[in-house]
Amino acid sequence: MAEDCVFCAIVAGRIPSTKVAEDERTFAFMDINPGSEGHALVIPKEHAPDLLSIPAEDLAACALMGQRIAQRAVAADGLGADGVNLVNSCGAAAWQTVFHFHLHVIPRYAGQPGRDSLQLPWTPAPADVTTLPALADRLRP
Ligand code: 5GP
Ligand code: ZN
């Protein structure tokens, strides 16, 4: 647990939250400033600042919990969403504001602006394909 971490405080119950689910490694709760109806967050119970530092077992557990909640978001007897975005922001430059790893599970509703006002945050444009091999080389783990 990290001092002054709002999500550690939520796991510990020192800050109230609306719980969706939990398991041995993860805790899921409703986002207080939702981007769409039913926007939830999945976090590891053990503090890790971000995607680069979270242990593999906790990352896998968060992904699986995210999948389970996404399935409920889409289910007819759940939220009846049309799709889901799983989003992680890693680093302030990538819009991360809380430095305890979290997955956003954001249900999406086609043609229902009252439930979903999200916009694609970039303008898709064709790549200069000649640059792609060198970029791929530099990314390769
Ligand atoms: P980030 O910007 O780091 O990707 O996402 C942080 C998210 O945490 C935001 O969507 C924000 O609304 C949510 N959040 C921040 N503080 C709290 C809180 O105290 N309770 C809940 N439920 N969500 C929070
Ligand atoms: Zn924390």
Residue 79: give its domain's CATH number: 3.30.428.10
Out of 39, 47, 100, 102, the active site residue is 102
List the strands of the sheet with 19-22, edge to edge: 19-22, 26-30, 40-44, 103-108, 83-87
**Binding-site residues, ligand 1, Cβ < 6 A:** 6, 15, 17, 29-33, 41, 89, 95-98
Counting from 1 in the atom list of ligand 1, the atom nearest the Cα of 96 is 3
- Residue 1's pLDDT is 76
Protein residues placing their CB within 5 Å of the ion ligand 2: 2, 5, 7-8, 47, 100
Nearest Cα to 30, choosing from 3, 69, 61, 71? Answer: 69
- Residue 2's pLDDT is 80
- Give residue 61's domain range: 6-139
Half-sphere exposure of 60 (CA within 13 A, CB side): 3
- Residue 3's pLDDT is 83
Using DSSP's 3-state secondary structure scheme, residue 92 falls into helix
Strand pairing class (103-108; 40-44):
antiparallel
Q: Which residues of the chain have pLDDT under 50?
A: none
Residue pair 34/109 in contact by the 8 Å Cβ criterion: no
Nearest Cα to 20, choosing from 114, 109, 105? Answer: 105
Residue pair 14/6 in contact by the 8 Å Cβ criterion: no
- Residue 84's pLDDT is 98
Answer whether residue 66 is part of any domain.
Answer: yes
Mutate which of 20, 32, 86, 100 for ligand 1? The one with the most ligand atoms within 8 Å of its CB, which is 32
The two tokens of residue 10 are 């939520």
Answer whether residue 28 is part of any domain.
Answer: yes
Provide the number of structural domains found in the chain.
Answer: 1
Answer whether residue 88 is part of any domain.
Answer: yes
Q: Which amino acid is at 49?
A: P
Answer whether residue 124 is part of any domain.
Answer: yes
- 102 is an active site residue: yes
Answer whether residue 81 is part of any domain.
Answer: yes
Ligand nearest to the CA of 9: 2
Using DSSP's 3-state secondary structure scheme, residue 66 falls into helix
